[in-house]
């Protein structure tokens, strides 16, 4: 990335699908079939964002809204914003791209009525845990053997308040 690079953050479009699936395959053990990406996109397009540098997709995040029991009170139901996946190509990391993608996606979930946010992350993925903490998420609990290789996940959550929108 040079000073002349063109860096664009925008909504995902179906023409980006192959590049997004390739980044997902290269960077994460959790890979999904094409129809999964399409479904997530059709349900909440404004929270499915990509970063494009000089015409190539270099990062993405996607999220959905889920109605269910609140993570803060089992007596209440909530509209929960769930970050399903985020990844940035290795050569473009530590430049704030994931932060910017997630801020945009979080704002979209809030605009669509999310009252709390959550996600799962491998306990060994300290880069991602730090990233989420920097955006206001806290570890609620560990979910043992959550992943296919039996690794545990942290369930990370954040409650939406009037100051939650990300600048």
Ligand X SMILES: CC(C)(COP(=O)(O)OP(=O)(O)OC[C@H]1O[C@@H](n2cnc3c(N)ncnc32)[C@H](O)[C@@H]1OP(=O)(O)O)[C@@H](O)C(=O)NCCC(=O)NCCS
Interface positions with ligand X (CB under 6 A) = 27-28, 86-88, 93-99, 121, 125-128, 130-131, 134
Question: How far, CA to CA in Å, does 63 sit from each of 101, 130, 134?
Answer: 11, 19, 18
Closest to ligand X by CB, 23 or 160: 23
Closest to ligand X by CB, 27 or 46: 27
Closest to ligand X by CB, 114 or 128: 128
Minimum CB–partner distance for residue 125 and ligand X (Å): 5
* The two structure tokens encoding residue 42: 């059709």
CA atoms of 8 and 54, how far apart (whole Å): 8
Q: Yes or no: say if 66 and 99 are a contact pair by the CB < 8 Å rule.
A: no
The count of C-alpha atoms lying within 13 angstroms of the C-alpha of 137, restricted to the half-sphere facing its C-beta, is: 27
Closest to ligand X by CB, 77 or 127: 127
Minimum CB–partner distance for residue 133 and ligand X (Å): 7
Q: Which helix (H) or strand (E) holds 157?
A: strand 153-159
- Strand-pair partners of 62: 85
Q: Which of 68, 51, 52, 58 is nearest to 105 (CA)?
A: 51
Minimum CB–partner distance for residue 93 and ligand X (Å): 3
């Amino acid at each position: 990335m040079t000073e002349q690079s063109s860096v664009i953050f925008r909504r995902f479009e179906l023409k980006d699908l192959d590049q997004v699936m390739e980044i997902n395959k290269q960077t994460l053990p959790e890979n999904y079939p094409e129809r999964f990406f399409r479904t997530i996109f059709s349900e909440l397009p404004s929270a499915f964002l990509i970063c494009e540098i000089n015409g190539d997709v270099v990062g993405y995040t996607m999220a959905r809204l889920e109605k269910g029991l609140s993570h803060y009170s089992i007596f209440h139901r909530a509209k929960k914003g769930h970050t399903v996946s985020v990844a940035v190509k290795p050569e473009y990391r530590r430049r704030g791209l994931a932060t910017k993608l997630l801020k945009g996606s979080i704002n979209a979930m809030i605009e669509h009525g999310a009252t709390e946010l959550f996600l799962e992350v491998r306990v060994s993925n300290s880069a991602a845990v730090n990233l989420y903490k920097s955006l206001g998420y806290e570890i609620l609990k560990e979910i043992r053997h959550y992943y296919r290789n039996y690794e545990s996940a942290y369930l990370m959550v954040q409650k939406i308040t009037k100051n939650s929108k990300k600048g």
